[in-house]
Amino acid sequence: MAAIGELKPPERILLGPGPSMVPPRVLQAMASPVLGHLDPAFLAIMDETMNLLRYVFQTENALTFPVSGTGSAGMEACLVNLLEPGDRAVIGVNGFFGQRMVEMARRCGADVTVVEAPWGQAVDPEEIRRALGQGKAKVVAVVHVETSTGVLQPLEEVVEVAHAYGAVTLVDAVASLGGVNLPVDKWGIDICYSGSQKCLSAPPGLSPVTVSDHIRQAVNGRKIPVQSWYLDFSLLKTYWGGERVYHHTAPVPMIYALHEALRIVQEEGLEARFARHATHAKALWAGLEGLGLRLFVPEPIRSPTLTTVEVPEGIDEAAVRRRLLSEYGIEIAGGLGPLRGRIWRIGLMGHSAQQRNVFLLLAALGTILHEMGVRVDPGAGVVAAREAYTS
């Protein structure tokens, strides 16, 4: 076999739906000396990481830790621990990741009732109420920010309805945690998972979860064991909790990276961080509209962390993305499922949410669209964004 050459990944401006850009401090922390997963020095780092995660989740939940896998592993962890065969789950579906929850819940043997909304709209709590009225459910699950559409789902009413019917609420916060407000305890969310690589700006590889104490106890009282040994909270809590029983070998450098990324969140402060995401998103929205483009999601439910914008008539959206990548080193994403070819997805998450990235993208996109024959002033996006920043 021929020798494989050295790794030389190009530097990208990551403005897709994740991973977001990783601050140099985080990359550096990740390259720190590897410790054993039961080394007292590492156990202290685990404790700090759990404390920092409680801060970003705004929770006191004891079981708040990163699952050793990506966001989808966190999704699966929550579902397999909650659901036993025959349990009923009501799942809000207004995009790709709601559908994924349905698929996973069915693999748990759950009886799933789907409450649908069109892609680009929020799930209606009244429809969840109707579904709950039709029969006892154990879980109501919704996606806070749907990565396929950029819809920000209002959560408080969903939680209220679920609790009124004796169901627990599971929230997918993959594209929201650390970018928009998500006070887990205040809103009464029972269980919630996220990803390391979006608004927290650590690399992909971990899925922070928080599990309320009553759910933790319910998991311990299950009739049959959790179908995943790797993701079984009753075992994981003995490693992450006080007893430190060996479960699996923690992905040590990823924990370092998350620890440093969370320290940066703490330094900035949650309020300031949410405000920064909002500021840059508003400038981006103004800039895209300045280029004559139409935003896909109406403003009241538009997430600042992920913006979706319609592809102009007659434009090959993939060609635009290829040019952004090859000429400017910028990554944005296309649509998924029914939105394939119809929208672009632009993330301003964590470290990526900076004025220079907003300006660069608008300048590059304006230029490319102009060169592809769209009747637009290439600088109109930058001008509109600048106005939004200064107004």
Residues 193-222 that bind a copy of itself (CB under 8 A): 195, 197, 203-205
Task: Kindly state the smallest distance separating residue 384's Cβ from a copy of itself, in Å.
Answer: 27
Rounded distance between C-alpha atoms, residue 77 and residue 46, angstroms: 19
The residue range among 132-140, 153-161, 212-220, 243-251 that interacts with a copy of itself, by the rule CB under 8 A, is 243-251
- Scanning the chain, the segments in alpha helix (DSSP H) are 24-30, 40-57, 71-82, 96-107, 125-133, 156-164, 184-187, 213-220, 233-240, 252-268, 270-290, 317-328, 355-371, 380-390
Q: Which of the residues 140 through 199 are near a copy of itself (CB under 8 A)?
A: 195, 197
Residues in the chain: 391
Q: Is the bond leading into 118 cis (omega within 30 degrees of zero)?
A: no
Name the residue among 63, 289, 297 with its Cα closest to residue 175. Answer: 297
# chain residues binding a copy of itself, by CB under 8 A: 83
Name the residue among 54, 48, 3, 342 with its Cα closest to residue 182. Answer: 54
Give the contact letters, 93-112, x = binds to a copy of itself (CB under 8 A), - = no.
-------x--xx-xxx----
Give Cα 81 to chain centroid, integer Å.
20
Residue of 59, 65, 66, 76 that binds a copy of itself (CB under 8 A)? 76
Residue of 163, 263, 342, 370 that binds a copy of itself (CB under 8 A)? 263
Q: Which of the residues 272 through 311 are near a copy of itself (CB under 8 A)?
A: none
Furthest-apart CA atoms within the chain: distance in Å: 65
Q: Which of the residues 317 through 346 are near a copy of itself (CB under 8 A)?
A: 325, 331, 333, 336
Please, which residues have CB within 8 angstroms of residue 220's CB and are 6 or more apart in sequence? Answer: 234
Please, which residues have CB within 8 angstroms of residue 334's CB and are 6 or more apart in sequence? Answer: 317, 318, 321, 340, 341, 343, 344, 345
Q: Which of 55, 165 has the CB closer to a copy of itself?
A: 55
Residue of 226, 339, 362, 384 that binds a copy of itself (CB under 8 A)? 226
Q: Which of 234, 279 has the CB closer to a copy of itself?
A: 234
Task: Kindly state the smallest distance separating residue 143's Cβ from a copy of itself, in Å.
Answer: 15
Residue of 183, 253, 292, 379 that binds a copy of itself (CB under 8 A)? 253
Residue of 126, 135, 136, 229 that binds a copy of itself (CB under 8 A)? 229
Task: Kindly state the smallest distance separating residue 258's Cβ from a copy of itself, in Å.
Answer: 10
Q: Is 21 a binder of a copy of itself (CB under 8 A)?
A: yes
Task: Kindly state the smallest distance separating residue 31's Cβ from a copy of itself, in Å.
Answer: 4
**Would you list the DSSP string of 262-274?**
HHHHHHH-HHHHH
